[in-house]
Amino acid sequence: MSYKMNTEQENMLRNIGIVDFVTIEMTEYLDTHPFDREAMEYFNHYMRMKNQMMHDYAVKFGPLSLSVADTCGKEWKWALQPMPWEGGC
Amino acid sequence: MWNYEKRLQFPVKITQPNAKLAQVIISQFGGPDGELAASMRYLSQRYTMPYNEVAGLLTDIGREAPEMFHLRGLRFF
């Protein structure tokens, strides 16, 4: 089955999903290998990448997490935007 | 302690709702051998795990397992 990603928003979301998956798997590896420096660098690399992507997404389409839900706008977008099962991301 | 992100781990688009399939999926989520039960086992067993790194692992798996399934599956209902 192929998933067509057409819009910029869908593309950005998909890429966040990919990078986030890497960080989740690396977390679990690092839990049991806490002194693996190479793995830590790998984790840091993808975590920084994810943070940047979450920030870029928030600027364009609204926050996906509270850490990027800035309050400089006039409204609190976090609660206003739909949940994934309500037609959101 | 818990945080969540407002997105799915994998994009799901339901074009044709399917109640029969939803029934199977919801039992995988909340049923007797479902993700929620597994998650609670990870999270309660972590308290008696004598090795710190494994306790940490159990915590991370316990919070991840339902999230992966749950957010993917919810769109089916």
Confidence class for position A74, pLDDT limits 50, 70, 90: confident
Chain-chain contact of B11 with A13 (C-beta, under 8 angstroms)? yes
* Residue-level pLDDT at A84: 79
Chain-chain contact of A89 with B3 (C-beta, under 8 angstroms)? no
pTM of the model: 0.81
Q: What ipTM goes with this model?
A: 0.79
Chain-chain contact of A17 with B11 (C-beta, under 8 angstroms)? yes
Neighboring chain A residues of B5 at a CB cutoff of 8 Å: 20, 64-65
Give every CB contact of residue A42 below 8 A, 6+ residues apart in sequence: A26
Give every CB contact of residue B75 below 8 A, 6+ residues apart in sequence: A84, A85, B8, B12, B13, B14
pLDDT by residue, tens only, chain B of 77 residues? 778 888 887 777 778 888 998 888 888 888 888 888 888 999 999 999 999 989 999 999 888 866 665 555 554 44
Q: Where are the domains of chain A?
A: 8-86
Res. A71: pLDDT tops 90: no
